[in-house]
A and B are shown apart, each in its own frame.
Chain A
Amino acid sequence: MASRGGPQRPNGASQGKICQFKLVLLGESAVGKSSLVLRFVKGQFHEYQESTIGAAFLTQTVCLDDTTVKFEIWDTAGQERYHSLAPMYYRGAQAAIVVYDITNPDTFGRAKTWVKELQRQASPNIVIALAGNKADLASKRMVEFDEAQAYAEENSLLFMETSAKTAMNVNDIFLAIAKKLPKSETSGTPQPRQGVRLNNEQGGQQSEGGCCK
Chain B
Amino acid sequence: MASGVESNGHRKQPSPRPSSSSSSSSSGSDTKSNSGSEKDDGERKVDPYGFERSNDFDFETYEQFMSSYLSILARRAARWKDTYEDKRKISRSRKLKRFCRKGIPGDLRPDVWMLASGASQRLAEDPNRYKTLLSQRADPTVTDTILLDIHRTFPENVYFNALSDPQSLRKPLQNVLEAISISNPHVGYCQGMNFVAGLLLLVTKSEERAFWLMDTLIRNILPDYYAANMIAVKAEQELLGDIVKWKLPVLHSHLSSLGVEWGLVGAKWFICLYADVMPVETVLRIWDCMFLEGSKILLRVALTLVTMNKDRLLAATNFPQAMDIFRDIVHEPPSLQCHSFLQNIFSVTGSMPKSRIKTMREKCVRDALQS
Contact = CB atoms under 8 A, between A and B. Distances in A.
A87 B153 CA distance: 26
B152 A81 contact: no
B230 A85 contact: yes
Nearest to A198: B257
B369 to A, nearest CB: 11
B323 interface: yes
A88 interface: yes
A201 B152 CA distance: 42
Contacts of B148: 29-30, 51
B263 interface: yes
Contacts of B319: 72, 193, 206, 208
A48 B260 CA distance: 31
B178 to A, nearest CB: 16
Contacts of A29: 145, 148-149, 191
Contacts of B154: 50
A54 B268 contact: yes
B301 to A, nearest CB: 16
Interface string B176-190: 000000000000001
Contact of A81 (B161, B228, B324): B228
Interface in B184-201: 190-192, 194-195
B190 A79 contact: yes
Where chain A touches its partner, the secondary structure class is loop
Contacts, number: 107
A85 B271 CA distance: 13
A138 interface: no
A202 interface: yes
Given A51-B149, A57-B327, A85-B234, A198 B191 contact: no
A51 B191 CA distance: 8
B364 to A, nearest CB: 15
Contacts of A81: 190-191, 228-230
Given A53-B195, A54-B271, A82-B230, A197 B256 contact: yes
Nearest to A28: B148
B259 A192 contact: yes
Interface residues of A, number: 38
A77 interface: yes
Nearest to B193: A53
B155 A206 contact: no
B355 interface: no
Interface residue range, chain B: 35 or more
A155 interface: no
Contacts of A89: 264
Nearest to B319: A193
Nearest to B261: A194
A199 B253 CA distance: 10
Contacts of A79: 145, 190-191
Contacts of B258: 206
Contacts of A202: 257, 317
B328 to A, nearest CB: 12
Contacts of B264: 55, 57, 88-89
A53 B191 contact: yes
Contacts of B149: 29-30, 51
B234 to A, nearest CB: 7
Nearest to B190: A81
A84 B190 CA distance: 13
Interface in B314-358: 317-320, 323-324, 327
25 contacts: A29-B145, A30-B149, A30-B152, A50-B276, A51-B152, A53-B191, A53-B192, A53-B195, A53-B272, A55-B267, A57-B264, A78-B191, A81-B228, A84-B230, A84-B234, A85-B267, A193-B259, A193-B260, A197-B256, A197-B257, A198-B257, A198-B259, A201-B257, A205-B318, A208-B319
Q: Which 3 A-B pairs have the closest CB atoms?
A: A54-B267, A193-B259, A48-B155
